[in-house]
Protein backbone atom coordinates (compact mmCIF):
# COMPACT_ATOMS: atom_id res chain seq x y z
CA UNK A 1 0.00 0.00 0.00
CA UNK A 2 2.91 2.37 0.63
CA UNK A 3 4.17 1.72 -2.87
CA UNK A 4 0.70 2.46 -4.26
CA UNK A 5 0.53 5.66 -2.24
CA UNK A 6 3.91 6.82 -3.50
CA UNK A 7 3.07 5.94 -7.10
CA UNK A 8 -0.61 6.78 -7.48
CA UNK A 9 -1.61 8.97 -4.54
CA UNK A 10 -4.02 8.81 -1.65
CA UNK A 11 -7.18 7.97 -3.61
CA UNK A 12 -5.77 4.64 -4.75
CA UNK A 13 -5.17 3.40 -1.19
CA UNK A 14 -7.32 0.49 -0.07
CA UNK A 15 -9.89 1.37 2.62
CA UNK A 16 -8.62 -1.77 4.38
CA UNK A 17 -5.08 -0.39 4.75
CA UNK A 18 -5.37 0.26 8.49
CA UNK A 19 -6.80 -3.21 9.33
CA UNK A 20 -4.01 -4.74 7.25
CA UNK A 21 -1.30 -2.79 9.08
CA UNK A 22 -2.45 -2.72 12.70
CA UNK A 23 -0.49 -5.16 14.90
CA UNK A 24 -3.65 -6.44 16.59
CA UNK A 25 -5.20 -7.35 13.23
CA UNK A 26 -4.25 -11.05 13.17
CA UNK A 27 -5.58 -11.64 16.70
CA UNK A 28 -8.78 -9.79 15.83
CA UNK A 29 -9.35 -11.84 12.68
CA UNK A 30 -8.74 -15.12 14.54
CA UNK A 31 -11.17 -14.10 17.31
CA UNK A 32 -13.85 -13.32 14.74
CA UNK A 33 -13.26 -16.58 12.88
CA UNK A 34 -13.55 -18.61 16.09
CA UNK A 35 -16.16 -16.47 17.84
CA UNK A 36 -13.74 -16.15 20.76
CA UNK A 37 -14.87 -13.39 23.14
CA UNK A 38 -12.51 -13.87 26.06
CA UNK A 39 -10.10 -11.27 24.72
CA UNK A 40 -8.11 -10.95 21.50
CA UNK A 41 -4.73 -9.92 22.85
CA UNK A 42 -1.63 -9.00 20.91
CA UNK A 43 1.82 -9.49 22.39
CA UNK A 44 4.52 -7.33 20.81
CA UNK A 45 8.00 -8.24 22.04
CA UNK A 46 9.89 -8.51 18.76
CA UNK A 47 11.28 -12.00 18.11
CA UNK A 48 10.02 -13.25 21.47
CA UNK A 49 6.38 -12.42 20.68
CA UNK A 50 5.26 -15.92 19.70
CA UNK A 51 6.71 -17.43 22.87
CA UNK A 52 5.31 -14.69 25.10
CA UNK A 53 1.88 -15.30 23.58
CA UNK A 54 2.09 -18.89 24.82
CA UNK A 55 3.10 -17.65 28.28
CA UNK A 56 0.12 -15.28 28.30
CA UNK A 57 -2.18 -18.12 27.25
CA UNK A 58 -0.86 -20.25 30.10
CA UNK A 59 -1.53 -17.43 32.55
CA UNK A 60 -5.11 -17.04 31.29
CA UNK A 61 -5.80 -20.72 31.85
CA UNK A 62 -4.09 -20.87 35.23
CA UNK A 63 -6.06 -17.85 36.46
CA UNK A 64 -9.36 -19.43 35.47
CA UNK A 65 -10.16 -16.73 32.91
CA UNK A 66 -10.16 -19.21 30.03
CA UNK A 67 -10.57 -22.92 29.39
CA UNK A 68 -9.09 -22.82 25.87
CA UNK A 69 -6.64 -20.36 24.37
CA UNK A 70 -5.42 -20.23 20.77
CA UNK A 71 -1.98 -18.61 20.96
CA UNK A 72 0.94 -18.11 18.65
CA UNK A 73 2.77 -15.73 16.37
CA UNK A 74 2.71 -14.60 12.76
CA UNK A 75 5.09 -12.59 10.62
CA UNK A 76 5.12 -11.21 7.08
CA UNK A 77 8.27 -9.11 7.04
CA UNK A 78 9.94 -9.65 3.67
CA UNK A 79 10.07 -6.22 2.09
CA UNK A 80 13.00 -4.25 0.68
CA UNK A 81 12.70 -1.64 3.43
CA UNK A 82 12.82 -4.22 6.24
CA UNK A 83 15.68 -6.14 4.68
CA UNK A 84 17.63 -2.91 4.14
CA UNK A 85 17.07 -1.85 7.74
CA UNK A 86 18.42 -5.09 9.18
CA UNK A 87 21.27 -5.09 6.70
CA UNK A 88 22.30 -1.59 7.77
CA UNK A 89 22.60 -2.72 11.39
CA UNK A 90 24.79 -5.66 10.28
CA UNK A 91 22.34 -8.29 11.54
CA UNK A 92 21.73 -10.05 8.22
CA UNK A 93 24.18 -12.51 6.71
CA UNK A 94 26.54 -11.14 4.11
CA UNK A 95 27.14 -14.51 2.42
CA UNK A 96 25.70 -14.94 -1.06
CA UNK A 97 27.57 -17.81 -2.73
CA UNK A 98 25.23 -20.61 -1.60
CA UNK A 99 21.87 -19.26 -0.35
CA UNK A 100 20.87 -22.61 1.18
CA UNK A 101 23.95 -22.58 3.40
CA UNK A 102 23.68 -19.02 4.69
CA UNK A 103 21.79 -19.68 7.93
CA UNK A 104 24.33 -21.49 10.11
CA UNK A 105 23.74 -21.16 13.86
CA UNK A 106 26.74 -21.91 16.12
CA UNK A 107 29.04 -22.42 13.12
CA UNK A 108 32.40 -20.64 13.09
CA UNK A 109 31.56 -19.14 9.67
CA UNK A 110 28.17 -17.70 10.54
CA UNK A 111 27.70 -14.08 9.52
CA UNK A 112 24.15 -13.17 10.48
CA UNK A 113 20.59 -14.37 10.12
CA UNK A 114 18.30 -14.95 7.16
CA UNK A 115 14.86 -13.38 7.31
CA UNK A 116 11.86 -15.64 6.91
CA UNK A 117 8.09 -15.47 7.12
CA UNK A 118 5.64 -17.83 8.72
CA UNK A 119 3.10 -18.55 11.41
CA UNK A 120 2.69 -20.94 14.29
CA UNK A 121 -0.40 -21.46 16.43
CA UNK A 122 -1.05 -23.77 19.36
CA UNK A 123 -4.21 -24.70 21.23
CA UNK A 124 -3.78 -24.57 25.00
CA UNK A 125 -6.45 -26.16 27.19
CA UNK A 126 -7.20 -26.74 30.81
CA UNK A 127 -6.42 -30.47 31.33
CA UNK A 128 -9.85 -31.42 32.63
CA UNK A 129 -11.51 -29.53 29.78
CA UNK A 130 -9.38 -31.37 27.23
CA UNK A 131 -10.19 -34.73 28.84
CA UNK A 132 -13.90 -33.94 28.75
CA UNK A 133 -13.63 -33.25 25.03
CA UNK A 134 -11.71 -36.46 24.50
CA UNK A 135 -8.79 -34.82 22.72
CA UNK A 136 -5.26 -36.22 22.66
CA UNK A 137 -2.72 -33.83 24.10
CA UNK A 138 0.67 -33.46 22.44
CA UNK A 139 2.25 -32.55 25.74
CA UNK A 140 2.10 -30.22 28.72
CA UNK A 141 3.11 -26.59 28.87
CA UNK A 142 4.53 -26.98 32.36
CA UNK A 143 6.06 -23.55 32.87
CA UNK A 144 7.13 -20.28 31.33
CA UNK A 145 8.87 -17.06 32.20
CA UNK A 146 9.15 -13.58 30.72
CA UNK A 147 12.09 -11.35 31.60
CA UNK A 148 13.99 -8.32 30.34
CA UNK A 149 17.72 -7.82 30.06
CA UNK A 150 17.13 -4.05 30.30
CA UNK A 151 20.58 -3.16 29.03
CA UNK A 152 20.49 -2.71 25.23
CA UNK A 153 17.83 -1.92 22.63
CA UNK A 154 18.98 -4.58 20.15
CA UNK A 155 20.82 -7.14 22.29
CA UNK A 156 20.03 -9.64 24.98
CA UNK A 157 22.75 -10.77 27.34
CA UNK A 158 23.54 -14.16 28.84
CA UNK A 159 22.67 -12.99 32.34
CA UNK A 160 19.14 -11.96 31.38
CA UNK A 161 18.60 -15.08 29.31
CA UNK A 162 19.80 -17.35 32.10
CA UNK A 163 17.52 -15.61 34.59
CA UNK A 164 14.47 -16.22 32.39
CA UNK A 165 15.44 -19.86 31.87
CA UNK A 166 15.84 -20.38 35.61
CA UNK A 167 12.44 -18.83 36.28
CA UNK A 168 10.81 -21.05 33.64
CA UNK A 169 12.29 -24.21 35.17
CA UNK A 170 11.17 -23.12 38.62
CA UNK A 171 7.68 -22.37 37.33
CA UNK A 172 7.50 -25.80 35.70
CA UNK A 173 8.90 -27.65 38.70
CA UNK A 174 11.54 -29.17 36.45
CA UNK A 175 15.21 -29.65 37.35
CA UNK A 176 17.94 -28.74 34.84
CA UNK A 177 18.97 -32.41 34.72
CA UNK A 178 15.46 -33.29 33.49
CA UNK A 179 15.80 -31.17 30.35
CA UNK A 180 16.73 -33.50 27.51
CA UNK A 181 16.14 -31.16 24.57
CA UNK A 182 16.77 -27.45 24.10
CA UNK A 183 15.42 -25.55 21.13
CA UNK A 184 17.81 -22.63 20.89
CA UNK A 185 16.81 -19.19 19.68
CA UNK A 186 20.12 -19.25 17.76
CA UNK A 187 19.69 -16.74 14.96
CA UNK A 188 23.19 -17.24 13.51
CA UNK A 189 24.68 -13.96 14.76
CA UNK A 190 27.97 -14.22 16.60
CA UNK A 191 27.03 -12.20 19.68
CA UNK A 192 23.57 -13.74 19.97
CA UNK A 193 24.68 -17.35 19.58
CA UNK A 194 27.51 -16.96 22.08
CA UNK A 195 25.34 -15.27 24.70
CA UNK A 196 22.73 -18.00 24.45
CA UNK A 197 25.31 -20.79 24.53
CA UNK A 198 26.70 -19.30 27.73
CA UNK A 199 23.23 -19.04 29.25
CA UNK A 200 22.27 -22.61 28.35
CA UNK A 201 25.54 -23.94 29.71
CA UNK A 202 25.11 -21.99 32.93
CA UNK A 203 21.51 -23.10 33.58
CA UNK A 204 21.11 -26.49 31.89
CA UNK A 205 24.67 -27.74 31.39
CA UNK A 206 26.02 -29.58 28.39
CA UNK A 207 24.02 -32.82 28.62
CA UNK A 208 20.94 -31.72 26.63
CA UNK A 209 20.54 -32.19 22.89
CA UNK A 210 20.45 -28.68 21.40
CA UNK A 211 18.84 -27.90 18.06
CA UNK A 212 18.42 -24.69 16.07
CA UNK A 213 15.76 -24.97 13.40
CA UNK A 214 16.31 -21.41 12.14
CA UNK A 215 19.07 -23.06 10.13
CA UNK A 216 16.23 -24.45 7.99
CA UNK A 217 13.39 -21.95 8.32
CA UNK A 218 15.28 -18.70 8.61
CA UNK A 219 14.31 -16.23 11.31
CA UNK A 220 10.53 -15.84 11.32
CA UNK A 221 10.67 -12.97 13.78
CA UNK A 222 7.38 -12.80 15.70
CA UNK A 223 6.43 -16.34 14.65
CA UNK A 224 9.73 -17.92 15.64
CA UNK A 225 8.94 -18.41 19.34
CA UNK A 226 5.85 -20.49 18.69
CA UNK A 227 7.48 -22.50 15.91
CA UNK A 228 10.43 -23.19 18.22
CA UNK A 229 8.10 -24.39 20.96
CA UNK A 230 6.37 -26.64 18.45
CA UNK A 231 9.69 -28.13 17.37
CA UNK A 232 10.61 -28.83 21.00
CA UNK A 233 7.21 -30.38 21.67
CA UNK A 234 7.36 -32.64 18.63
CA UNK A 235 10.91 -33.70 19.53
CA UNK A 236 9.50 -35.08 22.79
CA UNK A 237 6.48 -36.68 21.14
CA UNK A 238 8.40 -38.32 18.30
CA UNK A 239 11.67 -38.98 20.12
CA UNK A 240 13.55 -37.14 17.38
CA UNK A 241 15.67 -34.00 17.57
CA UNK A 242 16.29 -32.43 14.13
CA UNK A 243 19.89 -31.73 13.21
CA UNK A 244 21.04 -28.13 12.92
CA UNK A 245 21.69 -27.50 9.25
CA UNK A 246 24.91 -25.98 7.88
CA UNK A 247 26.79 -26.60 11.13
CA UNK A 248 30.05 -27.74 9.56
CA UNK A 249 32.39 -26.60 12.32
CA UNK A 250 31.07 -25.86 15.79
CA UNK A 251 32.40 -22.63 17.26
CA UNK A 252 34.88 -23.80 19.93
CA UNK A 253 33.40 -21.24 22.33
CA UNK A 254 30.07 -23.12 22.22
CA UNK A 255 30.32 -25.84 24.87
CA UNK A 256 27.03 -27.54 24.06
CA UNK A 257 25.85 -30.80 22.50
CA UNK A 258 24.43 -29.24 19.33
CA UNK A 259 22.82 -31.89 17.12
CA UNK A 260 24.31 -31.82 13.62
CA UNK A 261 24.75 -34.08 10.64
CA UNK A 262 22.04 -36.59 11.47
CA UNK A 263 18.93 -36.29 13.60
CA UNK A 264 19.14 -37.55 17.19
CA UNK A 265 16.70 -40.17 18.42
CA UNK A 266 15.87 -41.03 22.01
CA UNK A 267 13.31 -40.62 24.75
CA UNK A 268 13.07 -37.40 26.74
CA UNK A 269 10.46 -36.10 29.15
CA UNK A 270 11.12 -32.37 29.16
CA UNK A 271 12.31 -29.72 26.72
CA UNK A 272 13.14 -26.04 26.91
CA UNK A 273 12.45 -23.54 24.11
CA UNK A 274 14.20 -20.15 24.14
CA UNK A 275 13.09 -16.93 22.47
CA UNK A 276 14.86 -13.60 22.71
CA UNK A 277 13.91 -10.32 21.06
CA UNK A 278 15.30 -6.88 20.30
CA UNK A 279 14.65 -4.72 23.32
CA UNK A 280 16.05 -7.35 25.65
CA UNK A 281 12.91 -9.51 25.77
CA UNK A 282 13.69 -12.98 27.16
CA UNK A 283 11.07 -15.75 27.13
Give per-residue pLDDT as tens, 175-188: 999 999 999 999 99
Q: Any catalytic annotation for residue 185?
A: yes
Q: Alpha helices of the chain — where are they, by DSSP H?
A: 2-8, 17-21, 25-34, 49-62, 80-88, 127-133, 158-172, 190-203, 214-217, 224-238
Q: Any catalytic annotation for residue 219?
A: yes
Q: Any catalytic annotation for residue 47?
A: yes
Tally the residues of the chain: 283
Task: Pick the catalytic residue from 79, 152, 207, 219.
Answer: 219
Task: Pick the catalytic residue from 77, 185, 207, 281.
Answer: 185
Predicted local distance difference test score (pLDDT) of residue 68: 95
Share of the chain above pLDDT 90, in %: 89
Predicted local distance difference test score (pLDDT) of residue 1: 76
Predicted local distance difference test score (pLDDT) of residue 121: 97
Q: Alpha helices of 117-259 — where are they, by DSSP H?
A: 127-133, 158-172, 190-203, 214-217, 224-238
Predicted local distance difference test score (pLDDT) of residue 156: 81
| Domains of the chain by start residue, with CATH | 47-282 (3.40.47.10)
Using CA atoms, how far residue 149 sits from 60, 120, 154, 226, in Å, is 25, 25, 11, 21
**pLDDT tens track for 113-147:** 999 999 999 999 999 999 999 998 999 999 999 99
Q: Mean per-residue pLDDT for 27-52? A: 96
Q: Are strands 281-282 and 276-277 parallel, antiparallel or unpaired?
A: antiparallel
For residue 83, pLDDT over 90 is answered with yes
Going by pLDDT thresholds of 50, 70 and 90, the confidence category of residue 9 is: confident
- CA torsion 92-94-98-101 (nearest 10°) is -50
C-alpha span between 169 and 182 (Å, rounded): 12
C-alpha span between 31 and 9 (Å, rounded): 33
Amino acid sequence: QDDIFERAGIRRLSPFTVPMLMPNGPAAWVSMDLGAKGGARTVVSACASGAEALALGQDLIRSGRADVVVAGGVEACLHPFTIAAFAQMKALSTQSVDPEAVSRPFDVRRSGFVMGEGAGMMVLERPEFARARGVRAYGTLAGSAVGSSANHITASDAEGQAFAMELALRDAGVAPADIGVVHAHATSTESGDLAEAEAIGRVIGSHAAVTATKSMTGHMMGASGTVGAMAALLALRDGTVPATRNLDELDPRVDLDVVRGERRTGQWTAALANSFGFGGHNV
